[in-house]
Amino acid sequence: MVQGSFKIAIVGSGPAGLSAAARAAELGISHVLLEAESWLSNTIYRYQKGKHVMAEPDVLPLRSPLTFTAGKREAILEAWNSGTAALGVNIAHRARVSAIGGQKGAFTITLDGGDTLQAEAVVLGIGLQGNLRKLGCPGEDLDWVQYQLDDPDEYKGETIVIVGAGDAAIENAIALADNNKVYILNRRDEFDRAKPGNLSGILKAIEDGKLTCLYNTKPVAAEDSPGGKRLRVATNDGETELAVDRIIARLGATPPRAFVESTGIQFPSKDPNSVPAVSAQYESNVPGLYIIGALAGFPLIKQAMNQGYEVVEFIEGRTVEPADTPLLRDKFAVLPDITDIEEALATMQRRVPILKPLTPLQMREFMIDSDIRAPADGEIIFQLNDYTDTFYSVVSGTVEIEVDPADPSKRFTLGKGEFFGEMSLISGRRRSATVRAGNQCVLIETPRRSMNKLINSVAAVKRVIDEVFLRRIIQGKIAPTLPPEEIADLVSSAEVRQYRPGELLFSEGDAGDALHLIRKGSVTVSREIGGKDVVLAYVPAGQYVGEMALVSDLPRSATARAAVATETIRLDGVAFKELMMRRTQVRDRVQEVYRSRVAQNAVAQARPMGDVLEFMMSQGLGEATDVLLIDESLCVRCDQCEKACSDTHGNVSRLKREAGPTFANLHVPTSCRHCEHPHCMKDCPPDAIKRAPNGEVHITDACIGCGNCERNCPYGVIQMGIQSKTKPSLWRWMLFGGDEPGRYHPAKKDKSAKKATKCDMCKDLDGGPACVRACPTGAAMRASPEQFVKLYRGGR
């Protein structure tokens, strides 16, 4: 039981909170560290046993009374346990904070169970993992009721009840069913939240009798009865009792947001990924309430620990130069005149309007992620059709944008304070123009993730970027030669629409009331022929659909459907027609597209692709930039492709030839599609997944092996593996046998050092994809969606 009054109360003993408490203890400040669990640092405690924890970013110095170097999970936790003990940190375990009230100087903290305590300042370091949902019935804390499963092979011959219907529950149930009697308890009558692979897996396991599923069933109580461990459950037919050895509940976690908001802290947007904004001293909008670590948007251990140290200094009224200042100084090295970093950051914010709404901390973070570039006059920043996805702000000087690829002399100029690169950022497509540096140009180049984070956390940034994107894409696609005033009406009629995969934009026969400019995702155009929906065309982001009905005044002649999650800019038909009436060049341009589409559709109808396109769309073609395809009528199953990949990529193959679906003779092996908006990038703590100029989505050495990307890729193409440099010798193998090149799997000694591996399209190899070049028969090929459609239409 903890009670009393403290100067600093720290909530959460993750690396952030722990480091703060350790600093407070070191300084002899009255403090308490409140941790919900019986151990320290729950997030790290829950890593897989023996996991190798990495200390990214390398260049950042550590500033904390506790030690932290890359190493095994166990060693790190042990060092923190002994470190906190030596410093005399005042830790309260099993102290879950449920409410924080009061104000600066007099906060009241309420714990689960009703205890309260007082503190002058509160530091929130509760991370983003949230609280695991418990059974929600008596007995939920019994020691044979667990909420996690490390190693399914630990259990043999037990009767185990799995509670839950999500991916984790299903994966656990299937893994345990080999050696145990397993029940899976599902509140509802289906597994609709599971990934397709898990869904078919569990249904099959149930059908085969490997395990038993109790549908529409809820736990009522877990109890130790004289006869043994029992779980009472409620079904539609009443209550029954199961004799069990163990209950494993996998019910997900409640995100911490609701709790955080209850303390008065505000989130900048509804986006579930957004985190609260804090000042340069880590203070939230509630004075005296500080936020550090993952919850403040810093997803790595070292950053969290540094902030723990710094926040205590700030509360004590001292100023410390943040640990990342040397990093920032490096960034400014290109501008030798600058000495005062704080001043330079402020100047940049003044010069670039889009950065104005950032808090100083956000600005620091933004600059640490970004690079400052001072390109020479005339230097190319990026080329038309590059696949890069960074965002540029112009700090001084100018850049020239070549609007017409046919005529490089047609340019328009952007000056100080403006930005560019937002098209690729939003659409995930290639660069739509070549950009050159102008006179005395200084730019900030920001990676995609940091930009997306900013868009999600600062509403003003999102609004400005969306507006500019809208204006530029409408201008670029519809009226590149008109002055902006001419299209003002059209722009103001525009609205952004979002569609789920498979949702209709419009149907054949509808009145043609609008034009859709695809902002993100892609669309298929189909027509009903002989009672069947026949797909005629695939339209990627950056192009428009729906112009036919506007040009011809007839009802829609085809159906447009989102192939993947899609966003369009809907332009009102009336405003659009008006513009066409007024400006013949607009009309001519649209009519040209219209004519070429009519011709295309005629070809498409004459050479129907059948269901092959639909099959490929279901395989992610609609969001892919490049897919590996195997023609099974040519494939002699020699696995040369796999061997080639393995041999050229550290003995870990990035593709599985045999796995993956087949349609007629077309096989899509398990290999990366290099998505336009890679799902794998979403949640990578060190931002290790990047897109190269030719579109290759690849994983850099910064990977810390957390496995998030493996879970996030819907196509299951990322594996956690151990790469090795040694290659077996070809001649030795040919003459004496032994390890064959391409089939060499060095002993996997150190399982913990696994990193994410995936196809990088052989971007570092001369000659392109090794898998395709090693295929003896020509069965393997890589294609973009556009090439695919073209090829399968017979080379037209």
Partner 1 sequence: MAQTPHGSFLRHRGYRYLKLGSLLCIICILAYWAHDPADGPNGGSWLGYTLGTIGALLIGWLAWLGVRKRRYGSTMGTVKGWLSAHVYLGLALITVATLHTGFQFGWNIHTAAYVLMLMVILSGVFGIGVYARMPTLITENMGTSDRETLIDEILDINQQALKLADPLGPEVHRIISRSTERMRLGGGLWAQLFGPLPPGRRAIDELRKIVADEESAASAKVFDPQSSTVMFMAGELSQAKKRGEIAEKSRQLMELIGRRNALIVRVNRDIQLHAQMQIWLYFHVPLTVALLAALAAHVISVFLYW
Ligand X SMILES: Cc1cc2nc3c(=O)[nH]c(=O)nc-3n(C[C@H](O)[C@H](O)[C@H](O)COP(=O)(O)OP(=O)(O)OC[C@H]3O[C@@H](n4cnc5c(N)ncnc54)[C@H](O)[C@@H]3O)c2cc1C
Using CB distances below 5 to 8 A depending on partner kind, what does residue 697 bind out of ligand SF4, partner 1, ligand HEM, none? ligand SF4
Among 360, 501, 610, 693, binds partner 1 (CB under 8 A): 610
Residue 741 binds partner 1 (CB under 8 A): yes
User: How far are the Cα atoms of 133, 499, 663 from residue 614, in angstroms, in the given order?
Assistant: 39, 18, 10
Distance CA 674, CA 387 (A): 11
Contacts 24+ apart (CB under 8 A), 584-589: 585/479, 585/481, 585/482, 586/478, 586/479, 586/482, 589/478, 589/479
Among ligand SF4, ligand HEM, partner 1, none, the one that 672 touches (CB under a kind-dependent 5 to 8 A) is ligand SF4
Smallest gap, in angstroms, from Cβ of residue 644 to partner 1?
Answer: 4
d(CA 254, CA 2): 25
CA distance 644 to 682: 29
As measured in angstroms, the least distance from the Cβ of 721 to partner 1 is 18
Confirm or reject binding of residue 193 to partner 1 (CB under 8 A): no
Q: Which does 374 bind (CB under 5 to 8 A by kind): ligand SF4, ligand X, ligand HEM, none?
A: none
Report the DSSP pairing between strands 91-92 and 391-396: unpaired
Task: Kindly state whether residue 565 participates in binding ligand HEM, applying the rule CB under 6 A.
Answer: no
Q: Reduced to 3 states, what is the DSSP secondary structure of residue 393? A: strand
Q: How far is the CB of 289 from ligand X (least distance, A)?
A: 14
Of residues 174-233, which lie at the interface with ligand X (CB under 6 A)? none
Q: Confirm or reject binding of residue 775 to partner 1 (CB under 8 A).
A: yes
Look at residues 662, 706, 680 and name the one whose alpha carbon lies nearest to residue 759.
Answer: 680
For residues 737-754, one letter each, b for 16 or more C-beta atoms within 10 angstroms of the residue's C-beta and e for the rest, the string is eebebbebeeeeeeebbb
Residue 776 touches ligand HEM, criterion: CB under 6 A: yes
Cα separations (Å) of 349 from 343, 364, 691? 10, 11, 28
State which of residues 2, 9, 10, 16 lies at the interface with ligand X (CB under 6 A): 16
Binds ligand SF4 by CB under 6 A, chosen from 689, 779, 781, 783: 689
Question: Restricting to residues 293-322, which ones interact with ligand X according to CB under 6 A?
Answer: 293-295, 299-302, 304
Q: CB–CB of 522/622 below 8 Å?
A: yes
CB 731 to ligand HEM: min, Å: 13
- Interacting positions 700-719 with ligand X (CB under 6 A): 704, 706-707
Among the listed residues 637, 732, 745, 751, the single contact to partner 1 using CB under 8 A:
637
Overall residue count recorded for the chain in this entry: 796
Bond from prior residue into 219 cis (ω within 30 degrees of 0): no
For ligand SF4, which residue of 362, 640, 708, 752 counts as binding (CB under 6 A)? 708
The neighbouring-strand residues paired with 781 are 629
Asked if 497 and 545 count as a contact pair (C-beta separation under 8 A), the reply is no
Interface region with ligand SF4, contact rule CB under 6 A, candidates 78-86, 449-457, 464-472, 705-713: 705-713
Of 674, 721, 788, 792, the one binding ligand SF4 by CB under 6 A: 674
User: Within 13 Å, how many C-alpha atoms sit on residue 488's CB side?
Assistant: 4
779 interface partner picked from ligand X, partner 1, ligand HEM, none, CB below 5 to 8 A per type: partner 1
* Partner whose footprint covers residue 272, from ligand SF4, partner 1, ligand X, none (CB < 5 to 8 Å by kind): none
CA torsion through residues 156, 161, 163, 164, sign: positive
Q: Which tokens go with 269? A: 């947007």
If one asks whether residue 56 binds ligand X (CB under 6 A), the answer comes out as: yes
Collapsed DSSP state (helix, strand, coil) of residue 697: strand
Closest CA to 503 of 549, 565, 547: 565
Name, in order, each residue with C-beta under 8 angstroms of 716's C-beta and a sequence gap of 6 or more: 197, 670
Which residues lie closer than 8 Å to 336 by C-beta, 6 or more apart? none
654 is a site residue for ligand SF4 (CB under 6 A): yes
Name which of residues 610 to 649 contact ligand HEM (CB under 6 A).
636, 638
Min CB(382)–ligand X separation in Å: 31
Q: What tokens appear for 451 in the block?
A: 């930009």
Residue 361: contacted member of ligand SF4, partner 1, ligand X, none (CB under 5 to 8 Å, by partner type) = none
3-state secondary structure at position 560: strand
The strands making up 238-243's β-sheet, listed across from edge to edge, are 218-225, 228-235, 238-243
Stretch that binds ligand SF4, among 267-275, 401-409, 556-564, 707-715 (CB under 6 A): 707-715
Beta bridge partners of 518: 568
Smaller CB separation from ligand X, 53 or 645: 53
Residues in contact with ligand SF4 by CB under 6 A are 644-645, 649, 654-655, 671-675, 678-680, 684-686, 688-689, 697, 699, 703-709, 713, 715, 717-718, 756, 758-762, 769-771
Residues lying near partner 1 in the complex (CB under 8 A) are found at: 208-210, 607-612, 629, 631-637, 640, 643-644, 647-648, 658-659, 661-666, 730, 734, 741-742, 765-767, 770, 772-781, 791-795
Note the residues at the interface with ligand X (CB under 6 A).
Answer: 11-17, 34-37, 41-44, 47, 53-54, 56, 96-97, 125-127, 129, 131, 259, 293-295, 299-302, 304, 685, 704, 706-707
- The binding site for ligand HEM (CB under 6 A) comprises 636, 638, 776
